[in-house]
Amino acid sequence: MLKLQPALEDLGQPWNWSADRWVAGSSWIEPFQHPVLEHHLVTDGTTTFMTVRERLRGCSAPTAVERVDTATYRRRVKEAQSWPLDFTTVECERGQATFSTGVWGTAPLYLASTGDALHGSWDLMDLRRHLHAEALDDTAVSRLLTYWRRYSRQTLWRDVLMLTERARFSRGGLAMAYPEPAAHSRARELRKDADPVAALGALLADAIGQRIFDPTASAVELSGGLDSANVAASLAEAHPGLVTCCAMMIGGTEGAQQRRRRVEMIENADFRRDVQVAGLAFPPLNPLGARGVGQPVHPDEEPFGKATTAMLGAVTARGVRVAWTGIGGDEMLALREWERETPLDQDHMQFPEWVTAPTIDALLTHENQLAPATPITEVTLMAFACRWPLYLRAGVWPISPWRPLT
């Protein structure tokens, strides 16, 4: 949601809006501009906070700049950090900047420092000066190569941190504070008169209805999976004939199953149009991809980055600015620890044969640096961090209405 470059000496200065960003001296903080987002600044004359957030139906737009007393300022900060949709806030005072984010994980915020200046962006490629081989983090690289990814502030580079959900990052000493673990409820027995299908439909309709968006400028990713199918059905019911559906089509027997499912769903829902992109036309590591033409590429965006960008290009050419998605059915329907007949332990972990014992020991040793339990599954949040920058580069805001329901 933010790109920024504040200098330590400017943090206590007055901040003003200029063109597309807030500025103070040589420092700047730029919110992502999109019709479904809003931003504002509040100051008590000593401390200033800025927030960018998703617009909530029924709430009037905030004042662009609000100058208040200290008590009102504290109340505004609390209100901003309890916003029910996605948000990112930054609070500036003399010698310190503090960042915080909500639970949704739509746009990651990567942070790095150089001397007395802080650099941050939702697009890791904006921090390329910090992304060199000598700065690679051994543990993070080992996790990448062994497919044992973990949700934490750690990135592939030692000098770059990612602000995780509900976390707070302070420029004073480059410290990041994790939140308390999120509480999760256990499944319960249904009442005899319960209608879970109707309840799910009502929950999805409410989650969609909270948003302020133009359905004619919206697309839903209809991949053929269960979670996106429910989102698509709810959108088509709420806005018949207005929402575009789209998909990256795969090949093989799985592709045949995908096509059959999508045909059945499209026949039973009222969409504006269907936009398809053949995934096999954009294979990973192909000569025309980012690597092949010498462009920088984030390893997390592979192997589907090129195909995803092509799909986004196809829908934006038709005026789409919002993409509705699922949450990843495998993650949403995965067994919980107490539902497994045999709990998973270290003996169940499988590593490639070429991984050495010291590397495995290092991976196990660094398990204590992970983010605490999250409201949304960690794998889903990691997937969002990989995918959503591709959408933002295309000017598309992604929304998964499942997020508050999981």
Looking at the structure, do residues 171 and 248 belong to the same domain, yes or no? no
Q: Verify that 110 and 143 share a domain, yes or no.
A: yes
In this structure, the answer to whether residues 146 and 206 fall within a common structural domain is no
The better pLDDT of the pair 78, 334 is held by 78
Q: Model confidence at 357, in pLDDT bands (50, 70, 90)?
A: confident
Considering only residues 237 and 168, tell me which one the structure prediction assigns the higher pLDDT: 237
Band (pLDDT 50/70/90 cuts) for residue 364 is: confident
Q: Facing residues of 115 across strands?
A: none
C-alpha to C-alpha distance for 116 and 102, rounded to whole angstroms = 27
Q: Which of 150, 177, 204 is the last residue of a domain?
A: 177
Domain of residue 103: give its range.
Answer: 2-177
37: in domain: yes
Q: Is residue 130 part of a domain?
A: yes
Residue 241 falls inside a structural domain = yes
Q: Which pLDDT value is given to residue 297?
A: 81
- For 155-172, write each residue's pLDDT tens digit: 889 889 888 766 555 655
Give the distance, in angstroms, between the CA of residue 31 and the centroid of all CA atoms in the same chain. Answer: 15
**Pair (127, 85) in one structural domain:** yes
Summarize the confidence of residues 200-204 as an average pLDDT: 92
**Domain of 30: which CATH number?**
3.60.20
Give me the CATH number covering residue 273.
Answer: 3.40.50.620
Q: What is the mean pLDDT of residues 191-212?
A: 92
* 84 and 224 housed in the same domain: no
Q: Is 157 in the same domain as 224? A: no
Of 349 and 20, the one with more pLDDT: 20
44 versus 184: the higher-pLDDT residue is 44
- Are 168 and 206 within one domain? no
Domain-ending residue, one of 122, 143, 177: 177
Average pLDDT over residues 188-213: 92
Residues 129 and 24 in one domain: yes
What average pLDDT does range 312-327 have in this prediction?
95
Which residue, of 177, 206, 234, is where some domain finishes? 177
Number of domains in the chain: 2
For range 135-144, the mean pLDDT:
86
Q: Are 202 and 285 members of one domain?
A: yes
Distance CA 275, CA 254 (A): 19
The sign one gets for the Cα dihedral 127, 132, 135, 137 is positive
Please check whether residue 367 lies inside any domain of the structure. Answer: no
Mean pLDDT of the chain: 86
Q: Is position 183 within any domain?
A: no
Same domain, 151 and 221: no
| Residue 12 and residue 115 in one domain | yes
Query: Within this chain, do residues 388 and 239 fall inside the same structural domain, yes or no?
Result: yes
Residue 356 falls inside a structural domain: no
pLDDT tens readout for residues 325-354: 987 655 556 666 666 666 555 555 677 888
Position 188 in a domain:
no
368 assigned to some structural domain: no
pLDDT tens, position by position, 256-297: 999 999 999 999 999 999 999 999 998 888 887 778 888 888
What residues does 90 pair with on adjacent strands? 50, 99
Give 382-403 pLDDT, tens digit per residue. 788 888 899 999 999 999 887 6
